[in-house]
Structure 1
Amino acid sequence: MNKIRPPRVTFHQLRTLEAVVRLGSITRAAAELHLTQPTVSAQIHELQSALDTALVEPVGRGIRPTEAAQLLRATALDMFARWQRFEEDLQALHGLERGRLRIAGVTTTEYFIARWLRRYTDSHPGIDIELAVDNRDAVVRRLQQDDIELAVMMMPPDNLPLHRVPLMRNPLVLIGPAGHPWAGAHRVARTALNGQALLMREPGSGTRLATEAYLHTHGLTPTVRATLGSNEAIKHAVAAGLGLAVVSRHALAADPAHDGVALLPVVGFPIERRWLLVWRSDRRLSLAAQRFVEHVRAHPPDEPDTAAAAGA
């Protein structure tokens, strides 16, 4: 049997190399790793000396990873994955007393995701939580780059292999300023939306995608007056009378009047969607993430009030 030789490089060097190859830049790698550029350059140089091969080559004012660097990154990722499995097995030996859960949610989940995590950490107090709340496009990038294991979103991407667990309803309601004449109606025809000023979330937002799909399906042509980057900005703008908007019912107070808005009973609203917990089917979940999936399956999150969501 051949004797296994220990590597001539360190995990720190491999982590640095992985970031440089993935980001294609020593500057960006240094920023991500919270290191100085000379430190990153020195680690790459040490790797090249240890392996006696070039890992980066100059291109203009930047660098380009060589084929050897791409091969080393793939090897490093295999090593990192193996080390993660070791940590998970170690956690299992200790009854999941320690560990880390890396999870992200799209912006609207900020109204409820902390409650889910609190219930989980009550049962597993030794677990550290790394939570990111960002727009849908940023959450998708985190999944692509393995920055997170789990994500909570309404409209997962089609270009990633994903497991999906339905969690709870996410009714998308139409809102206008408090006192809007439609608020007191029994039902308003959807064609009334034609020509109305509409406020939208940023491109790539799940709520915007669902809204645009609804409008396209029914041939409706409101006027997009403004694009805003958060639910809070949308609510303030609607309350100020800048236009109507579609938002998740979760983003509103139990009584929408507290937000200065009213639910508008237009035919077709609420648009019924669902929150999903998703993760890469081509990746092995850590023990902490596996336990979280089991937890939410055993303890489904609370549903929003159906009557309020429907504007009844």
Structure 2
Amino acid sequence: MRNATIRQLQIFSVAATHLSFARAAEKLHLTHAAISLQIKQLEEVFGAALFDRIGKRVFLTEAGQILLDHARQILQSLKEADESLMALKGLKGGRVAIAVTSTAEYFAPGLLAEFRRAQADVRVRLLVNNREEVNRLLISNEVDLAIMGRPPVGLEAQAVSFAPHPLVIIAAADHPLAGRARISSDELADETMIVREAGSGTRSAMEEFFLQRAIKPRIDMEMGSNEAIKQAVVAGLGISFISQHTLGLELSVGRLVVLKVEGTPVMRRWFLVRHKSKRLTPALGVFWDFVLASAPEYLKRFA
């Protein structure tokens, strides 16, 4: 591998991540032929096929997966070295790649805006996805850190709780339970529930809430989007268990209400997570400290 170039590793990493030479060409502003040539040369250097080509699709071979893991580490190390040298020279700036779960997308952009006002020279890349994909991005070292409701299981991670995360049960403003000052959890057994997909942090918290009370909820709809769930509840299709941090607009205009159910809000925590092997570059360190110091107060706006 001593004869492999950094550029070849960059091209290979993009092609392997997207499993598409065409997509790699588009992202790197190269021709499809140039991507194919660089991959072929890298396979010659490596002495093994890195992709299986079946029809128009490509798949990573075992050798390709091994190389991808190491290529990502090499490229990340180079990025960190570059930022450390910039800091040594007294240069400002740096880059931070952040992944947030879809529930955190309601407050993350505003939090980043406050950070950028204080650190205008730091470039920030924000990725919003479901919990499973955020876990993958952390494990594969494609992002520097994540904001999520539960630290990933099985990942050697440093996870720091930084703010409370209330989960509530919502209904349309004209729902029969909407005006009640006290609602027992048993009364929810006959209500139609609209819920997040299996595996999401919100869904897991909901299942735990009902399991503790020996209630089997009537799940009528399953959706992968908080926005879709809120619109379905507004339309009167059912009630839902959801993060209070997603509800600012709908509550303020009276389209949704939080039901006063015994045992709610269910309190969880927001976590800032990074891989244990992830070294704090100057830019990453500044952002890490900013979230821990500023996010608790910022999130009070969503209470």
Pairwise TM-score range, normalised by the shorter structure: 0.7 to 0.9
Structure 2, unaligned stretches of length 5 or more?
A: none
Q: Could you tell me which amino acid in structure 1 is paired with residue 121 of structure 2? A: G
What are the equivalent positions in structure 2 for 1:193-272 lying under 5 Å apart?
Answer: 193-253=188-248, 256=251, 258-272=253-267
Name the CA shift for 1:126/1:59 in 2 (closer, same or farther; >3 Å): closer
Q: Is 1:105 matched up with 2:70?
A: no
Q: For structure 1, which segment, 32-41 or 215-224, has the greater mean C-alpha deviation from structure 2 after superposition?
A: 32-41
What are the equivalent positions in structure 2 for 1:142-221 lying under 5 Å apart?
Answer: 142-221=137-216
Task: Give the one of 38, 41, 53 matched to 2:47.
Answer: 53
Q: For structure 1, which segment, 70-79 or 261-270, has the greater mean C-alpha deviation from structure 2 after superposition?
A: 70-79
Deviation of 1:245 after TM superposition, in Å, equals 0.4
1-structure distance, mates of 2:46, 2:179: 76
The question of whether the paired residues in 2 share the 8 Å contact of 1:253 and 1:259 is answered with: no
The question of whether the paired residues in 2 share the 8 Å contact of 1:84 and 1:286 is answered with: no
Structure 1, unaligned stretches of length 5 or more?
A: 1-5
The question of whether the paired residues in 2 share the 8 Å contact of 1:169 and 1:303 is answered with: no
Q: What percent of counterpart residues are identical?
A: 35
Deviation of 1:87 after TM superposition, in Å, equals 0.9
Q: Is 1:273 matched up with 2:268?
A: yes
2-structure distance, mates of 1:170, 1:256: 17
Match of 2:38 in 1: 43
Match of 2:283 in 1: 288
Match of 1:80 in 2: 75
Q: Is 1:119 matched up with 2:111?
A: no
Q: Could you tell me which amino acid in structure 2 is paired with residue 53 of structure 1? A: G
SS for the counterpart of 1:181 is coil
Cα displacement string for residues 31-63 of structure 1 (whole angstroms, at most 9, x for unaligned residues): 6656544322210222345x3834447565466
SS for the counterpart of 2:290 is helix
Cα displacement string for residues 161-198 of structure 1 (whole angstroms, at most 9, x for unaligned residues): 11112121111011111032322222111111112100
Match of 1:15 in 2: 10
Match of 1:3 in 2: none
Name the CA shift for 1:205/1:111 in 2 (closer, same or farther; >3 Å): same
Name the CA shift for 1:276/1:181 in 2 (closer, same or farther; >3 Å): same
SS for the counterpart of 2:190 is coil
1-structure distance, mates of 2:114, 2:46: 52
Q: TM-score, normalised by structure 2?
A: 0.86
Name the CA shift for 1:182/1:132 in 2 (closer, same or farther; >3 Å): same
2-structure distance, mates of 1:77, 1:150: 15
Q: How many residues align?
A: 302
The question of whether the paired residues in 1 share the 8 Å contact of 2:251 and 2:257 is answered with: yes
Q: Which has the larger radius of gyration?
A: 1
Name the CA shift for 1:262/1:299 in 2 (closer, same or farther; >3 Å): closer
Q: Could you tell me which amino acid in structure 2 is paired with residue 288 of structure 1? A: A
2-structure distance, mates of 1:76, 1:305: 41
Match of 1:132 in 2: 127
Deviation of 1:279 after TM superposition, in Å, equals 0.7
Name the CA shift for 1:39/1:217 in 2 (closer, same or farther; >3 Å): farther
The question of whether the paired residues in 1 share the 8 Å contact of 2:48 and 2:63 is answered with: yes
The question of whether the paired residues in 2 share the 8 Å contact of 1:98 and 1:127 is answered with: yes
- Aligned-pair Cα RMSD in Å: 3.0
Cα displacement string for residues 254-298 of structure 1 (whole angstroms, at most 9, x for unaligned residues): 772615111111111111111111111122233211111112233
